[in-house]
Chain A
Amino acid sequence: MMATNAEKLVDESTASEEWDPKIIVFCCNWCSYAGADLAGVSRLQMPTDFLVIRTMCSARVDPEFVLRAFAKGADGVLVAGCHPADCHYIGGNYRTRRRIAILRVLLEQYGFDPDRLRLEWISASEGEKFQKTIREFTERIKEIGPNPLKED
């Protein structure tokens, strides 16, 4: 049911030029949030269409959060955590990796483009990577188009 609706909506919305995607970014406190801060300290410029929610560890990102975000109309969700083995909480990010992989499969089954959900490892010193990730992801989301669940 969802899928059919989705197809229709995608067609309509890609026609409209003026569209700023809404992207939710979950950053773990110790690496990715710090990396995002470093991007700021280094004045790295990037699109404005994302909003960061800080969690202590990327492993805290409940699948429910991701699904909720999509249900509420987010066009993309980015989860950013410490590099494997760098996790402040020893192994949290391995769990994140598995969860996100499963969620992507799930999204696909619901007719969502799995690329709407992305996982990136961004360390505290990778301000530039944060910038690059945001830029690329925003571009990708723009390509995919608005969230099919979004109502007019």
Chain B
Amino acid sequence: MATTTIGSVMVVGGGISGVQTALDLADSGFKVYLVEKRASIGGTMAQLDKTFPTNDCSMCIMAPKLVAAGRHHNIELITNTDLEEIDGVPGDFRVTLKQKTFRVDKSKCTGCGVCAEKCPVETSDEYNEGMRKRKAIFVMYPQAVPLVYCIDRKACIGCGVCAEECRAKAVVYDKPDEALEIRVGAIILSPGFDEFDARIKKEYGYGVYRNVVTSIEFERMLSATGPYFGVVMRPSDGEIPKKVAFIQCVGSRDEKVGNPYCSSVCCMYAIKEAIIAGEHTKGLEPHIFFMDVRAVGKEFEDYRERAEKEYGVKMHRGTRVASVEEDPVTKNLFVRYGGNDQIETEEFDLVVLSVGMRPAADAEKLSRRLDFKLNKYGFCETDIYDPLCTSRSGIFVSGSFASPKDIPTTVAEASGAAAKAGSLLSDARNTLVTVKEYPVEIDVSGQEPRVGVFVCHCGINIGGVVKVPSVVEYARTLSGVVYAEENLYTCSADTQERIKETIKKHNLNRVVVASCTPRTHEPLFQNTIRESGLNPYLFEMANIRDQCSWIHMHEEEKATKKSKDLVRMAVAKARLLEPLKKSQLPVNHSALVIGGGLSGMIAALDVASQGFDVHIVERTSRLGGNLAKLHHKEGSREPKVFMDELIDIIRGYPNITVHLDTNITDVTGFVGNFKVKITDGEVEVGAIIVATGAVGYEPTEYLYGQDDRVMTSLELEEKLSRREFKGKTVVMIQCVGSRNEKVPYCSRICCSTAMMNAIELKKQHPTSEVYVFHRDIRTYGFREDLYREAGQLGVNFIRIPEASMPQLESSEGRLKIIARDVVLNEDLVIWPDTVVLSVGVRPNKDNEELAKMLKVPLSKDRYFLEAHMKLRPVDFATEGIFLAGMAHWPKFVDEAIAQASGAAARAVTIISKDTLDTEGIIAAVNEDICDGCGICEPVCEYKAIQIVKISDSQEKLKAIVNEGLCKGCGACVAGCPSGAMEQKGYKTSQVIAMIDTALERGDS
């Protein structure tokens, strides 16, 4: 460990993983260098159309995070950059980076895009997988962060037109590559994965047959911003395909191509793509050819079910596609597949290859430069008990760089990695972050509005259509406007200075900028006026570019008139703007972890090791939870050994208080300031982590409890570990208590558990006969190795129909199993001496009770429901409360650990702060008017409104808004029948003023 600890972290890779890690670290007091090899952050997720299982638009949910990362004053984006060398020890690394030149000055580029419009060179657009052209000067995608254009030197012919056209003079052709050296305390690797190169699977004809595409290409085809604008078409002829085949496991579960592992996500994304494609085109017939469908995540199984039942996705279970052949005339494709015993052929219009995940191409280079180990498949090596640590101390890993995984798992891990780095560097927290100093705010109350209007040409983007001078002229005539001017780029750094000077010179107390969209630029201008002493909410924007000049390019007169209208509206609102205060709430620097199982302990440890007090509340008399029931050795140690070590650490940890045999009885307060009543008193904490776990299903079927020879998989595991099991003919029945009508979901872990049991059994008794009755084997990720090993050891796998479970009877003292074998298409009878039931996982019975106390929701399967399935997997919608482990969903040890670390990191982003800012734009009650009718209370999604009694009078009620909880959506305001509720910054009077001015009779 270093003598001095550096309070900064380098995150390698700017995909969703890296972005999440960076945000979490930056929010908890560390300086972050986010290093990305491409020109913009966003990674693979930025290319996706929708995400499963909610069909959220990928870019829509991701873009705010990208923008947040781009704007965070403690995150430095270093894009287009390769890692060259590192030196040093954990706590103090010196990293040498090489930033490849953009040939564009980042400080000057405004992202206006004129350069790309004028560039005469077209080249293949990687973002759209080569299905569309881009120019030699480009941004990867319109929402790219940073929005800086970059010259593709390979394609550029050096004609010089971009430099000429750039009014900001940002193009610098001879700008050299730059070597950077940074000092960081820890490094987090999240460079992601590469797609499997489908050309290797020659039999599928990718790269030869035009209508065979990869799944990522299909994502782009589906996307509204893709090459075909969201209409799926055949690349060969632009016709909409009627029949689409998805071929699974292309480059996964395939030893021949060196990828024996399962890529974990392809089943789900194929189902998603099939559903979305069907939504895009009526009458489209999607077919999916797969071996096992691995819908193991939260609500995945429902999604699969809906795909089949509602969307008519045809599932060809248990098939391997042998080859794809093309009809040279129609370019249709014949898919030959082996199903039940025979080869069949079916014709399709389009074939989508669900390509698997490969280790990132530069993984090996990275491992050599940073001196950490890769596993046998080339992914980063981790231990099951240390899923976020690489083999080199001080370097952590998250996301698909360690193994194939989906977005929510990645995001949870990303937060987890932040916790790991935070623990390592907790001494240096807040040493390198900058807090911006602003001048004292000018009190504008009682002043007449003095509005300054700045109208932007945006190079030629606005000025080329809208007559900017006449808009300025018009603005000067508006009531309240004391100053107006035009700018070439209002957003450029020099104009910011100008605005500041102008505010002073003309005593402006409101500022209106007419330029582009507030979504990207409002914070910049708000910051500028704040720097000159104005409250940032005394600012209003008129969007005369994105929503005027660009969409009315050929109607100069009307566009100019509309710009005037928009400016008039903005000024009308600006006149009524009031300074808003973000209140600051003090924060209690401690956390409560509910549940003392694996997740709870890890979460507690990761919070405590960052220097904060933690209370663990465990209702039983011991720590450990379900972990105590596990015996198979995975990774470095046996679960028991690990558990004992962990409990020892927790017991000995100075700032962890363990409350055993304790229950939660009441929770009040809000983020930063929770008061939690527990059995033996009350604790006050800033954040709460729910890690209450789940329970195994207690079967009632299959003679369980009636016949000793019938046991659960956990019981078998226990017996095997004590070497007490003697069975010769063992039947394992999968999905007992899962995937049925009552419990429709898949419990994720039972298949792998069964494999471990079967392997152990075969090892202990090589002559024993093991039969596994299953519908799918869902050994995703590297656990596919278990499935293969079991098969190699001679375990018999019998696929049974989706709908009919095996029948077990006890006849004449013997156990008899009757089951349908779908491969042989006949009934099978086995007389086992032992029947093992792979039982699923069930949510805790008292989840409802706890959820009510915490005011957090449960999912339909009665697990706790996170804020967002994809991007906020460990958060609740209610701020300050987090989720980890099996309380969220069944999961393996490594997954639970990573998620617990993630929850810890999220909690630390709250409790590491001294104060929390509330939102500026929130609801406020006019108590004189409010009669406490209570209509607003249920309207609020955030439980931010309470109806309380006005203290002295017993009868009169009123609504109060909890500023810590309100998000400022305004739903309550619109719902309030008396007009007592107001939304700050969008007051009814302000919006009405805009409406009225909009409908005034315009200019002249």
**A interface, CB within 8 angstroms of B:** 22, 24, 29-31, 33-34, 36-46, 48, 51-57, 59-65, 68-69, 72-74, 85-86, 88-92, 95, 99, 123-129, 131
Contact = CB atoms under 8 A, between A and B. Distances in A.
B854 interface: no
B565 A51 contact: yes
B945 to A, nearest CB: 14
Contacts of B971: 57, 59-60, 89, 92, 95
Given A45-B554, A60-B986, A125-B224, A72 B519 contact: no
Given A56-B986, A64-B988, A36 B547 contact: yes
Contact of B991 (A38, A44, A46, A53): A53
Given A53-B991, A65-B991, A124-B59, 12 more contacts: A24-B995, A24-B998, A30-B60, A40-B517, A48-B555, A53-B995, A56-B969, A57-B969, A60-B974, A90-B941, A125-B59, A131-B551
B118 to A, nearest CB: 14
Interface in B544-576: 545-548, 550-555, 558-559, 561-562, 565-566, 569
Nearest to B568: A51
Nearest to B919: A56
Contact of B519 (A37, A39, A91): A37
Contacts of A36: 546-547
B995 to A, nearest CB: 5
Interface in B905-934: 921
A74 B992 CA distance: 13
Interface string B562-603: 100110010000000000000000000000000000000000
Given A60-B983, A90-B941, A123 B60 contact: yes
Given A41-B546, A85-B54, A126-B224, A60 B970 contact: yes
A48 B552 CA distance: 7
Given A46-B551, A64-B988, A95-B939, A56 B996 contact: no
Contact of B996 (A62, A68, A85, A99): A68
A150 B566 CA distance: 21
Given A34-B519, A37-B519, A91-B941, A53 B569 contact: yes
B999 interface: yes
A92 B969 contact: yes
Contact of A90 (B518, B877, B986, B998): B877
Nearest to B541: A54
B380 to A, nearest CB: 33
Contact of A37 (B64, B543, B558): B543
B223 interface: yes
A34 B67 CA distance: 13
A95 B559 contact: no
A40 B59 contact: no
Contacts of A123: 57, 60
A61 B57 CA distance: 24
B553 A43 contact: yes
A92 B941 contact: yes
Nearest to A62: B974
Contacts of B941: 89-92
A56 B63 contact: no
Interface string B976-987: 000000010010
Interface in B223-240: 223-225, 229-230
26 contacts: A37-B519, A40-B517, A40-B546, A40-B547, A42-B142, A46-B551, A48-B548, A51-B565, A53-B991, A53-B994, A53-B995, A57-B969, A60-B969, A60-B971, A60-B974, A62-B973, A62-B991, A68-B996, A72-B995, A86-B60, A90-B942, A92-B971, A125-B223, A125-B224, A128-B230, A129-B224
Contacts of A65: 988, 991-992, 995
A56 B995 contact: no
A123 B555 CA distance: 27
B975 interface: yes
Contacts of B561: 48
Nearest to B113: A41
Interface residues of B, number: 57
Contact of B562 (A29, A48, A69, A90): A48
Q: 10 nearest interchain CB pairs?
A: A60-B970, A40-B546, A89-B969, A59-B971, A40-B550, A57-B969, A48-B558, A124-B60, A90-B941, A72-B999
A44 B970 CA distance: 30
B550 A41 contact: yes
A51 to B, nearest CB: 5
Contact of A125 (B60, B877, B921, B996): B60
Interface in B691-705: none
Contacts of A59: 969-971, 974-975
Given A22-B998, A127-B224, A55 B986 contact: yes
B675 interface: no
Contacts of A91: 941
A148 to B, nearest CB: 15
Interface in B84-129: none
B57 A124 contact: yes
B969 A124 contact: no
Contact of A33 (B230, B519, B553, B555): B519
B967 interface: yes
Contacts of B986: 55-56, 60
Contacts of B991: 53, 55, 62, 65
B968 interface: yes
Contacts of B60: 30-31, 34, 86, 123-125
B473 interface: no
Given A51-B562, A124-B60, A125-B223, A69 B999 contact: yes
A51 B57 CA distance: 26
Nearest to A48: B558
Contacts of B999: 22, 24, 69, 72-74
Interface in B199-254: 223-225, 229-230
B921 A43 contact: no
A56 B546 contact: no
A29 B142 CA distance: 18
A33 B519 CA distance: 8
Given A45-B551, A60-B973, A125 B519 contact: no
A43 B552 CA distance: 8
Given A90-B877, A124-B59, A45 B552 contact: yes
Most chain A CB within a 10 A radius of its CB, from B553, B942, B970: B970
Contacts of A68: 992, 995-996
A82 to B, nearest CB: 8
Given A55-B986, A57-B969, A123-B60, A95 B974 contact: yes
Interface in B504-519: 517-519
B229 A40 contact: no
Contacts of B555: 48
Contacts of A88: 969
Contacts of A40: 517, 545-548, 550-551
Contact of A45 (B553, B562, B983): B553
Contacts of B224: 125-129
